[in-house]
């Protein structure tokens, strides 16, 4: 059991998932070393807004440095004594943007991941959890995406390729290590404090502000939208799982973008002004996760359906409208 020592490192602590995870760990009495460099992959004001909610917590030690620079780890090395787990949530996310600046994705998703794996191994930390993505699978069609079919993985984007590279390199580095390596592959996470490049938060913003809702393609793309609270529950369960493994973390119900927009209309009370544009990159038509592995080994299943999740996200957005209106949506 990892709970003997309640000191954990979370990278990307001002990012969407990292912020929620850090908040949950602090609520459970963990001491957290949070790392983030507050880069401008998307509006840094949103990252600062998240960080403002946790930065004064007495059990949070915040470090601002670049994980892709191995020479920046000196201060972290000094603080690593008695750390029992590393959650590497830091990443440069976003499929569309990855085609514009591929070199930044290699640096942040492959080099930084390799560095954090090296750090974890050299300090003999017992658990490393590295955030990965369903994007590596490509298109599932009628089949379920399964973790044990890696030979069929064909990442369709720069983003997906760099995340898969991070997975492979971390596995290689941990082969002769006692560290348990866990690789959660997240499926389209959404919810309060979400990223401004993700469809649900962008759609909510555009509908409430009565702006055009940009939909790439016909909107019939099927996605496994997964509410943030369910994702955090899965990550916390990994604290007490003492093996190396890969887990799909997603919803067992897929819905289309058009269905999402209709649900947003329902909870905002406003009609979306939809503008369809041609897809500019290879975007999967259908994404369906196989959740048997995580259900069997962690006894986890998602509990928030898309209606409830969107209702909560709309309510949160309205409560934080003054801040969220000033965020740049991309």
159 as an active site residue: the answer is yes
Q: How far apart are CA 283 and CA 290, in angstroms?
A: 20
Q: Which of 42, 159, 317, 329 is catalytic?
A: 159
How many other C-beta atoms are found inside a 10 Å radius of the C-beta of residue 71?
A: 8
The stretches of 184-268 forming alpha helices (DSSP H) are 199-208, 228-237, 257-268
Report yes or no on 237 lying in a domain. yes
Number of domains in the chain: 1
DSSP E strands, the chain: 7-11, 31-35, 60-63, 85-88, 127-130, 132-133, 180-186, 189-190, 212-216, 222-223, 226-227, 245-249, 255-256, 273-277
Sequence length of the chain is 330
**Tens-level pLDDT at each residue, the chain (330 residues):** 344 468 999 999 999 999 999 999 999 999 999 999 988 878 899 999 999 999 999 999 999 988 988 888 888 888 888 899 999 999 887 777 777 778 888 888 899 999 999 999 999 999 999 999 998 887 766 678 889 766 567 777 888 889 999 999 999 999 889 999 999 999 999 999 999 989 999 999 999 999 999 999 999 999 999 999 999 999 999 999 999 999 999 999 999 999 999 999 999 999 999 999 987 666 778 889 999 999 999 999 999 999 999 999 999 999 999 999 999 887
Burial class (CB in 10 A: 0-12, 13-18, 19+), 184: buried
Report yes or no on 275 lying in a domain. no
Question: Whole-model pTM?
Answer: 0.94
Q: How far apart are CA 323 and CA 305, in angstroms?
A: 27
Supply the range of the domain harboring residue 25.
2-189+226-250+285-303
Report yes or no on 11 lying in a domain. yes
How many other C-beta atoms are found inside a 10 Å radius of the C-beta of residue 39?
A: 15
Report yes or no on 205 lying in a domain. no
């Amino acid at each position: 059991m990892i709970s003997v020592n309640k000191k954990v490192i979370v990278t990307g602590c001002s990012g969407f998932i990292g912020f929620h995870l850090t908040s949950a760990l602090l609520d459970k009495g963990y001491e957290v070393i949070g790392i983030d460099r507050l880069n401008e992959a998307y509006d840094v004001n949103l990252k600062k807004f998240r960080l403002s909610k946790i930065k004064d917590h007495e059990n949070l030690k915040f470090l601002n440095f670049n994980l892709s620079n191995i020479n920046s780890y000196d201060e972290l090395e000094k603080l690593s004594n008695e750390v029992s787990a590393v959650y590497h949530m830091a990443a440069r996310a976003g499929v569309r943007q990855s085609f514009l600046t591929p070199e930044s994705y290699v640096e942040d998703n492959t080099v930084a991941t390799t560095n954090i794996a090296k750090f974890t191994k050299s300090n003999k930390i017992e658990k490393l959890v590295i955030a990965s993505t369903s994007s590596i699978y490509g298109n599932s069609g009628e089949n379920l995406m399964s973790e044990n079919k890696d030979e069929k993985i064909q990442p369709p984007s720069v983003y997906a390729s760099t995340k898969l590279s991070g997975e492979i390199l971390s596995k290689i580095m941990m082969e002769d290590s006692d560290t348990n390596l866990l690789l959660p592959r997240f499926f389209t996470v959404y919810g309060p404090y979400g990223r401004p490049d993700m469809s649900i938060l962008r759609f909510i913003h555009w509908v409430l502000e009565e702006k055009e809702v940009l939909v790439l393609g016909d909107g019939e793309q099927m996605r496994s939208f997964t509410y943030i609270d369910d994702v955090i529950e899965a990550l916390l369960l990994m604290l007490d799982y003492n093996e190396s493994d890969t887990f799909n973390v997603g919803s067992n119900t897929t819905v289309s973008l058009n269905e999402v927009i209709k649900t947003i209309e329902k909870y905002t009370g406003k009609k979306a002004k939809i503008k369809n544009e041609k897809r500019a990159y290879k975007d999967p038509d259908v994404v369906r996760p196989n959740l048997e592995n995580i259900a069997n080994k962690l006894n986890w299943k998602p509990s928030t359906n898309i209606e409830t999740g969107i209702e909560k996200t709309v309510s949160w957005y309205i409560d934080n409208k003054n801040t969220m209106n000033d965020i740049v949506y991309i």
